[in-house]
Chains A and B, each alone.
Chain A
Amino acid sequence: MNGEPIVRWDWVARNWANGSPSAISALLGGHVVMAFLPVVLGLAVALPLGLACVRWPRLYQPTAALMNVTYSLPSLVLFSIFLSVTGLTQATVVIPLTFFALAVLIPAVVDGLTSVPEHVRQSAVAMGFRPVRRLLLVELPVAVPVVLAGLRVATVSSISLVSLGALIGQGGLGNLFIDGWQRQFPTPIVVGISLVLLLAVASDGVLVLAQRLLTPWSRARRSA
């Protein structure tokens, strides 16, 4: 690169929010939607499915095997296959990423629920908790650290995988990579990578904070 700076800040300033759909802020917005929607949908499906797998353990083996196979498929492959079903829409990115989120979240929910110590469960029964209240007030809160660990993995991967969607025309910040490559111009690429990393670090931080707020007892125990 003969003298071309890695980042041209004036380009960033001009393209941050210029009202066009390819403005950096617009791409960031689309990226956020396509990255978080799969995680939220995945969690909504993984919770009941994980509960079912704990309740009927025979379900877990086939579910885990299916998720393992899904997880080994490259995301570009799934995007390409869904392209023929859902066309050039955000769903073509969101649906495959939901499967990836599920592949991480179902084991996390199952591990979390099975990590609840037996004496805790029995204490809850002895205190008169009925199954549903016991699940909501005792077992799920105790499972929070394990589930959130899975949620962190799923969120960060989802944020980085969305950018591959740019190859099928729906990639949020990933479009900056295509743009930079086609014009042999590093600035958009560097800006895209930095924003993806920032988004990942920020979301991870929020989830760590959420875990601290949701499990106050773990801090109390440490300081005691």
Chain B
Amino acid sequence: MNWLSGFFGDPANWSGPDGIPARLLEHLEFSAAAFLIAALIAVPLGMLVGHTGRGALLVVVSANAARALPTLGLLVLVVLLIGVGTVLPVLVPLVVLAVPPILVNTYEGVRGVDPDLRDAAYGMGLRGRQVLLRTSVPVALPLILLGLRLAAIQVVATATVAAFVGLGGLGRFIIDGLATKEYPSVIGGAVLVAALALAVQFAFTAIDRIAVSPGVRARPGRDTEIAR
């Protein structure tokens, strides 16, 4: 515990480009960028595959591959091959690892919508796209949000590891601390990342409460968790 007070009580850790606020901001910037890119790719694609049923195999294979791919290996390989210097090489693996959870859960959610419900929507005169956006997506929303939550947590975790290949952010405290055997910095960084991951978790719980229609929430939901 005195390691914690040593780390958080040190005023030097609270200012400058390698202080906690600056590192936190960096971490949030990379994570938000990677998360947004992944969501822009995976949500529409998952909706399309779930709605049309085409390309389902691709979705399942990508989910399994992402679960088995070692984060650190992918990170060092991509950055080694593309080259360091800019942020882009680090964003690539972050996005690659964030896409599958969103893709799979969006696909499962849209595909799992009760066919009677879709038929009723068609019967009311809605077209294909309207059925998807006004019926299937609201019903699938809990699973889509689950996918987004898992991806966000994955991104926060991977961005931490990415400090190893030179990315800034909270991972610096852990990686640099390990390199110089300054364990207060390691533990302090770990606590900060843990707090950030929990904040993301709770933020998504709150979004779920607000965004999901009460009628949908009343139904017992399925949980299709996929691992990080």
A positions within 8 Å CB-CB of B: 1, 68-69, 72-78, 80-81, 83-84, 100, 104, 107, 153-154, 156-157, 159-161, 163-164, 166-168, 171, 173-174, 176-178, 180-181, 184, 186, 189-190, 192-193, 196-197, 200-201, 204
The answer on a CB contact under 8 Å between A164 and B67 is no
Q: Smallest CB-CB separation from A162: which chain B residue?
A: B70
| 28 cross-chain CB contacts under 8 A | A68-B201, A69-B198, A69-B201, A72-B153, A73-B197, A74-B228, A76-B157, A76-B174, A77-B190, A81-B190, A83-B186, A157-B67, A160-B68, A164-B70, A164-B161, A174-B70, A174-B72, A177-B76, A177-B77, A181-B76, A181-B80, A181-B164, A186-B77, A186-B80, A189-B73, A193-B70, A196-B68, A200-B68
Q: How far is the CA of A192 from the CA of B200 in the complex (A)?
A: 31
Known: A104-B227, A159-B68, A196-B68. A77 touches B197 (CB 8 A): yes
The answer on a CB contact under 8 Å between B68 and A163 is no
B positions within 8 Å CB-CB of A: 3, 64-65, 67-74, 76-77, 80-81, 153, 156-157, 160-161, 164-165, 171, 174-175, 178, 183, 186-187, 189-191, 193-194, 197-198, 200-201, 223, 225-228
Known: A163-B70, A192-B70. A156 touches B3 (CB 8 A): no
Q: How far is the CA of A23 from the CA of B161 in the complex (A)?
A: 25
Q: How far is the CA of A115 from the CA of B94 in the complex (A)?
A: 37
| Other A-B pairs beyond A167-B178, A181-B164, 17, CB < 8 Å | A72-B198, A73-B197, A73-B198, A76-B193, A77-B174, A83-B183, A159-B68, A164-B161, A167-B174, A171-B72, A176-B73, A180-B80, A189-B76, A189-B77, A193-B77, A196-B68, A200-B67
Known: A80-B189, A157-B228, A167-B164. A193 touches B74 (CB 8 A): yes
Known: A104-B225, A200-B68. A189 touches B161 (CB 8 A): no
Contact of B194 among A73, A83, A180 (CB under 8 A): A73
Q: Which residues of A contact B201 (CB under 8 A)?
A: 68-69, 72
Q: Which residues of A contact B80 (CB under 8 A)?
A: 1, 180-181, 184, 186, 189
Contact of B178 among A73, A168, A176 (CB under 8 A): A168
Q: Closest CB of chain A to B200's CB: distance in Å?
A: 7
The answer on a CB contact under 8 Å between B68 and A72 is no
The answer on a CB contact under 8 Å between A174 and B73 is yes
The answer on a CB contact under 8 Å between A163 and B73 is yes
Q: How far is the CA of A178 from the CA of B178 in the complex (A)?
A: 13
Q: How far is the CA of A197 from the CA of B61 in the complex (A)?
A: 13
Q: Closest CB of chain A to B69's CB: distance in Å?
A: 6
Q: How far is the CA of A192 from the CA of B194 in the complex (A)?
A: 28
Q: Which residues of A contact B193 (CB under 8 A)?
A: 74, 76-77
The answer on a CB contact under 8 Å between B223 and A107 is yes
Q: How far is the CA of A192 from the CA of B68 in the complex (A)?
A: 12
Q: How far is the CA of A167 from the CA of B76 in the complex (A)?
A: 12
Q: How far is the CA of A174 from the CA of B72 in the complex (A)?
A: 7
Q: Which residues of B contact A178 (CB under 8 A)?
A: 72, 76
Q: How far is the CA of A157 from the CA of B228 in the complex (A)?
A: 7
Q: Which residues of A contact B77 (CB under 8 A)?
A: 177, 180, 186, 189-190, 193
The answer on a CB contact under 8 Å between A153 and B72 is no
Q: Closest CB of chain B to A164's CB: distance in Å?
A: 6
Q: Which residues of A contact B71 (CB under 8 A)?
A: 160, 163-164
Q: How far is the CA of A174 from the CA of B70 in the complex (A)?
A: 8
Q: Closest CB of chain B to A108's CB: distance in Å?
A: 10
Known: A156-B68, A157-B228, A160-B71. A75 touches B157 (CB 8 A): yes
Q: Which residues of A contact B198 (CB under 8 A)?
A: 69, 72-73
Contact of A77 among B76, B160, B226 (CB under 8 A): B160
Contact of B72 among A80, A177, A190 (CB under 8 A): A177
The answer on a CB contact under 8 Å between B73 and A177 is yes
Q: Which residues of A contact B189 (CB under 8 A)?
A: 80
Known: A69-B198, A81-B187. A197 touches B161 (CB 8 A): no
